[in-house]
């Protein structure tokens, strides 16, 4: 049995019998005005963060969500889309698709604005999406891609890139881990299916996105997620796993490489009213400007009167590029 088969079996079980502890979000479940999320959807929220952000969801977007879970984020996306077939949910597990269909009927009873027809549920594989090229404004996945081994991860990301319109956004939440893991952990199919042993370092995760062609990367959140301790897992040391919320934007790739925002800020403190690097970045006197890591390094080299903050790993737009 492959690790993908183990994943199928795990989420079949989670569809038939909701497993509240399977994943754990440490951010609130967004309850927008007029939106009621059924309890069963919250119990089947098999994610490690959120992929729903109002800044991505203007002008009734077409949204793709891969790995439907109990349908909670599909419902949240529908809140912004509100059109027949405006949200497409793709999953390879029949039982999960059926559970979502049932949950949408409950959501209709609790939300007078919602119709099940707003969501098109499709059986399919993240590695070969049943979706047309450049047909989606937003594509999302939550705590799914970290399950994939590296070659499958590259394929899944390239599929998301394919279906997005130019300047479309891939929004994701996944566990990451900066510490090395033993082969025993890495090769444990069930731990991988549980979103634990497939976690990779952030820089490797970002490289997969930029190698696929995404020109802008935004690290929007970074939080503690789990620990793998020697008394519970086959490891000799405590391993800390974090979750990230990240957006990859299908912008053209800049000639000097991708813009990766990790929450750095530049502040000019010289004697002039402003600093202009003649490359499109103007820093007003003692006013912070969010900058990508590439620009942060260039500004640090351009002047010794510019303070560059450390990465906060929280960025929500309004930056230099």
The residue count of the chain comes to: 321
Instruction: Please state, in angstroms and rounded to a whole number, the distance separating the CA atoms of residues 222 and 243.
Output: 6
Which pair of tokens denotes residue 63? 């949204």
Residue 62 phi, psi (nearest 5):
-90, 125
Query: What's the whole-model pTM score?
Result: 0.92
Give, for all 321 residues of the chain, the pLDDT tens digit: 577 776 777 666 766 666 555 555 555 676 789 999 999 998 888 888 899 998 999 999 999 999 998 999 999 999 999 999 999 999 999 999 999 999 999 999 999 999 999 999 999 999 999 999 999 999 999 999 999 999 999 999 999 999 999 999 999 999 999 999 999 999 998 899 888 999 999 999 999 999 999 999 999 999 999 999 999 999 999 999 999 999 999 999 999 999 999 999 999 999 999 999 998 899 999 999 999 999 999 999 999 999 999 999 999 887 666
**Which residue matches tokens 């002047």?**
303
Please provide the DSSP assignment of 26-72 as one string: -SPPP--TT----HHHHHT---SS----GGG--SS--EEEES-TTSH
Which residues lie closer than 8 Å to 63 by C-beta, 6 or more apart?
A: 57, 77, 80, 81, 86, 87, 88, 136, 137, 138, 139, 140
Residue whose structure tokens are 């590439």: 294
């Amino acid at each position: 049995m492959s690790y993908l088969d183990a994943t199928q079996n795990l989420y079949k079980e989670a569809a038939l019998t909701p497993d509240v502890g399977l994943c754990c979000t440490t951010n609130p479940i967004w309850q927008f005005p007029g939106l009621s999320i059924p309890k069963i959807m919250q119990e089947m929220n098999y994610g490690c963060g959120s992929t729903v952000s109002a800044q991505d969801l203007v002008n009734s977007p077409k949204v793709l969500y891969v790995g439907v879970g109990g349908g909670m984020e599909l419902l949240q996306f529908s809140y912004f889309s509100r059109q027949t077939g405006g949200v497409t949910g793709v999953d390879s597990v029949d039982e999960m698709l059926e559970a979502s269909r049932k949950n949408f009927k409950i959501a209709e009873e609790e939300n007078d604005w919602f119709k099940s027809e707003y969501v098109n549920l499709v059986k399919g594989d993240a590695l070969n999406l049943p979706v047309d090229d450049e047909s989606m404004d937003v594509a999302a996945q939550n705590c799914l891609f970290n399950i994939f081994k590296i070659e499958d991860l590259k394929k899944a990301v390239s599929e998301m890139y394919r279906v997005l319109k130019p300047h479309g956004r891939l929004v994701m939440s996944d566990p990451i881990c900066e510490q090395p893991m033993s082969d025993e952990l890495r090769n444990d199919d069930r731990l991988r299916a549980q979103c634990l042993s497939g976690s990779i370092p952030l820089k490797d995760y970002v490289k997969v996105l930029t190698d696929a062609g995404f020109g802008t990367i935004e690290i929007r959140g970074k939080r503690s997620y789990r620990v793998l301790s020697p008394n519970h897992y086959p490891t000799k040391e405590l391993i800390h796993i974090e979750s990230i919320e990240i957006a990859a934007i299908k912008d053209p790739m800049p000639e000097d490489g991708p813009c990766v925002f990790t929450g750095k800020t530049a502040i000019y403190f010289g004697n002039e009213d402003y600093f202009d690097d003649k490359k499109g970045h103007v820093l007003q006197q003692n006013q912070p400007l969010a900058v990508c890591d590439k620009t942060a390094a260039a500004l640090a080299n351009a002047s010794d009167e510019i303070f560059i903050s450390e990465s906060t790993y929280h960025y929500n737009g309004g930056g230099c590029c």
